[in-house]
């Protein structure tokens, strides 16, 4: 059976230009590796982990982590592990990690940098690591929401120079050196893979005041969640108990929490609030909605006798 990376490395689509419903991105756009955003963690290459034995070039330890604020730094750190000594790799790590911009990181690990690539990097290795980087990047709630909100759009890295000619026909969708659209679009396709995984892992938080007892809006809100979705709720209200029971009955992951803080700590993509009156007049729900919005969650409020509304 062909796996995702084999498929990615196979023949590229003939032409991206006529593909409908495209989302084009490049440079500082949020899907790009050149976008600087909130920090996220990536695992340290095993060859640089002083607590582990030297393993295969594409193995990564998950007990030591590095913080980065853009995907370009994270991607180029994955090139480490091919040095003749750990000291050589460590020097390169500090040089790449210490750069102040995505462009500097790219140059610090480029062809002229002297970085020795690990075995397999130019085939499967770089794709495996890019997939790992994007999975880590989209643990950031705001970015996860942006990616999920693209729905079924075809994501294409529009890597062009100032003359409109393609610059990168592997990671981008454009033909190198011309205005064509025959690039492999590795980055766009990796992002669509991560988006599909996230769509299967939607995290829906449910909260309500004690007087809201009509469970029908809740059932409508939770209907059709894909396998692998998670429902986060308390058990102190009729709505919370109904959410718990719905999740278990439909074999969804369920996380029971005992406070509003714990609800947010579970990092939901969406918060569904059920209120018997105006949320603005109920301090616990109002604060919860504001905090969820600030962390990038999609907040929807159902008020008794009214249609659901987005914040």
Nearest to 128 by CA among 60, 211, 205, 179: 60
When the pLDDT of each residue in the chain is averaged and rounded to a whole number, the result is: 87
Rounded Cα distance, 247 and 231, in Å: 6
The confidence score (pLDDT) of residue 20 equals: 93
Angle between helix 141-148 and helix 186-199 axes, rounded to 10 deg: 100
Q: What architecture is domain 203-306?
A: 3-Layer(aba) Sandwich (3.40)
Residue 80 CB neighbours (<10 A): 25
Nearest to 43 by CA among 133, 150, 178: 133
Q: Domain coordinates of the chain in residue numbers? A: 4-199, 203-306
Whether residue 194 contacts residue 216, with contact meaning beta carbons closer than 8 Å, is answered with no
The confidence score (pLDDT) of residue 56 equals: 42
Instruction: Report residues of the chain scoring pLDDT below 50.
Output: 1, 50-62, 311
98 φ, ψ to 5°? -85, 5
Q: 236-294: per-residue pLDDT in tens? A: 999 999 999 998 888 888 889 999 999 998 889 899 999 988 887 888 899 999 999 98
Pair of tokens at residue 284: 């616990």
Q: 60-91: per-residue pLDDT in tens? A: 444 578 899 999 999 999 998 888 888 888 88
Taking the mean position of all CA atoms in its chain, how far away is CA 239? 30
Q: What is the reported pTM?
A: 0.73
Whether residue 157 contacts residue 173, with contact meaning beta carbons closer than 8 Å, is answered with yes
**Facing residues of 200 across strands?**
none
The class of domain 4-199 in CATH terms is mainly alpha
């Amino acid at each position: 059976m062909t796996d995702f990376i084999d498929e990615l490395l196979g023949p590229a689509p003939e032409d991206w230009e006529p593909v409908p419903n495209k989302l084009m991105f490049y440079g500082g756009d949020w899907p790009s590796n050149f976008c600087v955003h909130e920090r996220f963690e990536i695992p340290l290459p095993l060859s640089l982990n002083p607590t582990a034995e030297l393993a295969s070039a594409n193995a990564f330890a998950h007990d030591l982590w590095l913080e980065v604020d853009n995907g370009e730094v994270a991607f180029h750190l994955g090139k480490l592990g091919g040095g003749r000594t750990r000291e050589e790799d460590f020097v390169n790590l500090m040089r790449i990690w210490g750069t102040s911009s995505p462009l500097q990181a790219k140059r610090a690990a480029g062809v002229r940098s002297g970085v020795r690539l690990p075995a397999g990097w130019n085939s499967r290795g770089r794709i495996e690591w890019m997939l790992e980087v994007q999975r880590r990047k989209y643990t950031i709630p705001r970015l996860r929401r942006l990616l999920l909100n693209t729905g079924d759009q075809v994501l294409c890295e529009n890597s062009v120079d100032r003359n409109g000619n393609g610059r990168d026909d592997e990671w981008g969708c454009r033909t190198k050196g011309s205005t064509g659209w025959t690039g492999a679009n590795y980055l766009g396709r990796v992002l669509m893979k991560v988006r599909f995984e996230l769509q299967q892992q939607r995290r829906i938080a449910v909260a309500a005041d004690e007087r809201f007892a009509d469970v029908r809006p809740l059932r409508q809100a939770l209907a059709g969640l894909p396998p692998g979705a998670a429902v986060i709720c308390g058990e102190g209200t009729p709505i919370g108990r109904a959410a718990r029971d719905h999740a278990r009955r439909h074999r969804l992951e369920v996380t029971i929490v005992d406070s509003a803080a714990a609800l947010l700590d579970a990092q939901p993509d969406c918060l569904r609030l059920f209120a018997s009156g105006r949320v603005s007049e109920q301090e616990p729900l109002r604060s919860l909605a504001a905090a969820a919005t600030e962390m990038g969650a999609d907040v929807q409020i159902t008020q008794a006798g009214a249609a659901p509304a987005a914040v």
